[in-house]
Chains A and B, each alone.
Chain A
Amino acid sequence: MPLDSKSPGGPIETRWDRHRFSLKLVNPANKRKHTIIVVGTGLAGGSAAATLAELGYQVKCFCFQDSPRRAHSIAAQGGINAAKNYHNDGDSVYRLFYDTVKGGDFRSRESNVYRLAQISLNIIDQCVAQGVPFAREYSGYLDNRSFGGAQVSRTFYARGQTGQQLLLGAYQALERQIGAGAVEMYPRTEMLDLIVVDGRARGIVTRNLLTGKVESHLADAVVLGTGGYGNVYYLSTNAKGSNATAIWRAHKRGALFANPCFTQIHPTCIPVSGDYQSKLTLMSESLRNDGRVWVPKKKGDARKPGEIPKEDRDYYLERRYPSFGNLVPRDVASRNAKMVCDEGRGVGETGLAVYLDFHDAIQRLGKPVIVERYGNLFDMYERITGEDPYQAPMRIFPAIHYTMGGLWVDYNLMSNLPGLYVIGEANFSDHGANRLGASALMQGLADGYFVLPNTINDYIASTKVEKMDAGHPAVKEAEQQVNCVTRRLLEAKGTRTVDSYHRELGKLMWEYCGMSRTATGLKHALEEIPAMREQFWRDVKVLGTGEELNQSLEKAGRVADFFELAELMCLDALERNESCGGHFREEYQTPDGEAARNDDRFSYVAAWEFRGVGNPPGLQQEPLAFEYVHPAQRSYK
C-alpha cells in the first residue's frame, strides 16, 4: 500500500487554511494536562518548545549541549528566505514555491512546499517582533539580498550571523517559558531511545551526560527536532556533536527513514589541509554574489593565481551557465568543481580546490563595500588559512553540509508512528533532492512556530492515550536496551579510538556515496561497511565508565549509529537509478553532463523500514504528483 501523505487536495493556495480548519482543537484548560516532549533546541525544536508552552502544554525539552542556545542552527550564516516581495522584483508566494520545487529537482511534496512559502511571511514578522536585529536600510526598512541561485531578493539576514540571531530569538522565547515554569529544560541530556507502546510514541530514554544516569520520560507525544546526519561523513560543515542517534533509534523502533541518500554538498567551503582536520568550515554562499569562480585552463598550471592572465583562466560556471553564472544551485556548483578538479585543473597543494576571486568586485565596488558585505567571512578565512583573501583569491572546495533525507512525515509532520512528530532538518519534508540556500532556517521555524503547534492539537484531541508509569514493560525494555549498548561499547576494550573508526567510515562514504555515485562503488561500500561495523564493535576502545562525563562514550554511541545509517544511505543511492539534485549517479547523465532524472520510475519518496541490523530494509513508496509545477529538466544555462 502506498504511503498516505494526508495532503489535502483542492486548490493549493487554500490547502493549509482548509486543513487547519478541519483539525480538532484542544480546550485551553485541558492543554496543561498533556505533556509533550521536544528533543532538540535548534530553530525547529526551540521554536516548537516555546510555542507549545505558550499554548499551555506541559513541555519537556532536551539538548545535548550545555545550553539550548548552542544548537547547531547557530552556525547558519547566510540568511532566511521569505516571499515578502518588499523589493517589487516579481517575488510572490507562488514563485518561492515554484523555485523550491524546481530547486528540489521535483522530488518534494507540492502541498508542503506551498505551505512553507506561505508561512515564510509570518516568520519574518515573528522574528522582528522578538528583537532579531535583521539588516536594515537607512530608511529603517528591512534589507534583503539575493542568495543561492534565486533571481529575486528575498533573503533576510543579520550580518553573517543569521542563524545565530534567529536561534537567539527562539532561545529567548524558550527561556521565557522556562522561567515561567512552563518548560522543563534538560541540557546535557541525550535521547538514546524512543518508547513505543501499542504502536504509539509515548516517551524517550535519556542519558544525563554529566552523571551517566539513564532515565525515562513519558508524554502524550514526542517531537524530534534533532537536526541532520551530515556527520556520517566525519568531515562536514556540521558541528562536531551533530548526530543521527535520535532519529536512527526512532527508526529502529519503527519510524520510516525517507530518502537517506539525498545529501547536500555545499560548494564554498575551506579545503581540507591535513589528516588532523576535525571539521570543514563553510564560507557563506553569499560570497558567490560577488566572487567569481575559476581554475586555470591548463592542467597542472603551477603559477600563482595573480600571475595567470585572464585568457588562461576558465570561469567555468559563467561559461557553462551564462544566465545563472556563479549563482547556479549548490549541487550544480559542487559537481562542476569536482569535474574540473578531476580533470587535473584543481588548485592549491592538494589540487582539490578552485578559486573564488574578488579582485573584480573590489575594483568595481571598492574595498569598503566588500568589507561591509563580507568582512567577517574574509576574517574567518584568514584566521583559518593564514592567507589574506583581499590580496589573493580564496581557495574553496565542496563539503557535506545538509541532509535532505530524514524521518518520513506526513503533511501534519507526524511520522508513521502515531504520536511521533519530526521537524526541521531531522525530517525529509520540503527540499526534495536538493535544498536551496536560506531555506533550511525557513523550514525549521515554519515547522516549529507555525505548523506543528497547529497539527499536534488534532492528535492530542483525538487520541486517548493510556495512563502509564515508568514500571511499564516497554519502558524497562528500552532502558535495558540503552544500558546494553553502553555496556557493549565500554566492554569491547579494543585497540582503536572512536575517531579513527569515524574517519574511516567518513572517507568511504565521501568516496562512494558523496558528490557522485556509481552502482559499482555503492556495491563496494555495501560490502565494506558491515565489515567495518563488525570490527568497530569488536575493537573499539572506550576508556572510563558510564557513570561520569565520558565524551568518548558519547561519540561511540553516535558512530555506532552512523555505521548502520551509512549502509541504508548506500542502499538507497543504489536503488535510485537516476540522478536528481544532490544525488548524482554517473550512469545517469545527459550528454552535457547534467543530472538525468527518471520521472517515470522514480517520482516517489523512498521510505525505508528497519528490519534488523544487517537485514535488508523494506521499501515503502510515497508517489509524488506534480499538479502545479510540471517536471522539466532543471536548466540554469
Chain B
Amino acid sequence: MRIVLHIWRQANAAAAGRMVRYELPNVNTHMSFLEMLDILNEDLIGRGEDPVAFDHDCREGICGMCGCMVNGVAHGPLPGTTLCQLHMRHFKDGDELYLEPWRARAFPVVKDLVVDRSAFDRLIAAGGFISVATGSAPDGNAILVPKENADRSMDAAACIGCGACVAMCPNASASLFMGAKLAHLGLLPQGQPERDRRVMAMEAQANRELFGSCTNIGECEAVCPKDIKLEVIARMNRDFLHANWIGRGGLKGD
C-alpha cells in the first residue's frame, strides 16, 4: 500500500525545524511502523539524503525508547501500543501520517524525532527508589505481601518511561509517570518507610524540571502503552497531602 509521511526534520536542538513530505509507494501491511521508517531511511541514504533520526532499541514495546506523535496522538492510533509494536495493517492505502517528536518543555528536541527525556531519570534519582544497600535484605518471604497489593504494584511498575503521557498532556505534566512509580513502591510494605519523603522529593524535582501540573484531563491514560490508570495520580495526590500534613507537625502513622 501507499503511505504518505510528513516528518518533522530538525538538524539539532538549536536549528529550526520543518515538516518534510515523503511518499512510500510499497508498504507491506505486516511491517511494523519502525520497519517502515527503516525502509524510508535506506531509501534516503541511497539518494544521499540524511536519514530520519528516531530512537528505538528493543522493538518489543518494553524498553520505552521509541515513540513519536502520529497525527497528533502519542504512539499512534492503536491503544495500549508503543510505536514499535504498531503494525502497518492498522493503516490503509493512501493514508497521510504526520510524525512529530514528543512535545514538552521538559523534553527538548535533540534531532528530528529524538528528544531528551533525562528529566525522567532525575525524577527517579530524587526519590523514586527504596534505600536498601546490597546485602542487607532479609529472606524474601520474611515480609508477606498480599497478592492484590503485589498485583496492583505490578500494574503500576509496568510503566516503561517512554514519555507519551507527558507528550500528550496539554500541561506537559509528568503526573502519570510519577504516580506510577509512587504507586509501585507505595503499595508494597518495603516502600512504606520512605513513602512521605519520596512523594515530596519527586514533586519538588518535577517543578524544577518544568513539568506542568495535572488538571485531570486524562489524555495520558488514553495513550499510555502500558495502560497505567489515572488512579495512580489520585494516589499520588493523597500521598502528597498526607506527607505535607506530616511535615506540618502531624504524627508519623497518622
Q: Which residues of A contact B (CB under 8 A)?
A: 47, 50-51, 54, 65-70, 72, 74-75, 84, 86, 122, 124-131, 133-142, 158-159, 161, 164-165, 168, 171-173, 175-176, 178-179, 185, 187, 210, 239-241, 273-274, 276-279, 281-282, 380, 383-384, 386, 449-450, 453, 497, 499-500, 541, 543-544, 548-549, 551-552
Contacts and interface: CB of A to CB of B under 8 A. Distances in A.
A66 B55 CA distance: 9
B57 A241 contact: yes
Given A66-B55, A69-B121, A383-B85, A125 B137 contact: yes
A548 B125 CA distance: 28
Given A128-B137, A276-B31, A497-B46, 5 more contacts: A54-B133, A130-B129, A131-B188, A133-B151, A543-B50
A274 B117 contact: no
Contacts of B199: none
Contact of B62 (A122, A125, A161): A161
A129 B55 contact: no
Contacts of B85: 380, 383-384
CB-CB nearest 3 A-B residue pairs: A140-B144, A179-B125, A129-B137
Contact of B128 (A74, A137, A172, A450): A172
B31 A74 contact: no
Given A159-B154, A548-B111, A172 B130 contact: yes
- Chain A CB within 10 Å — which of B53, B56, B121 has the most? B121
Contact of A172 (B35, B124, B138): B124
B124 A133 contact: no
Contacts of A274: 28, 30-31
Given A67-B117, A380-B60, A129 B45 contact: no
A281 B60 contact: yes
27 contacts: A47-B134, A65-B65, A66-B116, A69-B161, A70-B58, A70-B65, A75-B58, A75-B60, A84-B140, A128-B143, A129-B137, A130-B130, A131-B129, A131-B153, A131-B185, A135-B150, A142-B141, A158-B154, A172-B129, A172-B130, A187-B121, A276-B35, A278-B34, A380-B61, A386-B89, A543-B50, A549-B111
Interface in B48-87: 48-51, 53, 55-65, 81, 85, 87
B182 to A, nearest CB: 11
Interface residues of B, number: 77
B42 A499 contact: yes
A277 B145 contact: no
B86 to A, nearest CB: 8
B248 interface: no
Given A175-B124, A176-B129, A277 B35 contact: yes
Contacts of A168: 157
Given A54-B133, A54-B134, A164 B62 contact: yes
Contacts of B161: 67, 69-70
Contact of B134 (A135, A172, A277, A449): A449
B178 interface: no
A383 B76 CA distance: 14
B118 interface: yes
Nearest to A445: B134
B93 interface: no
B38 A276 contact: yes
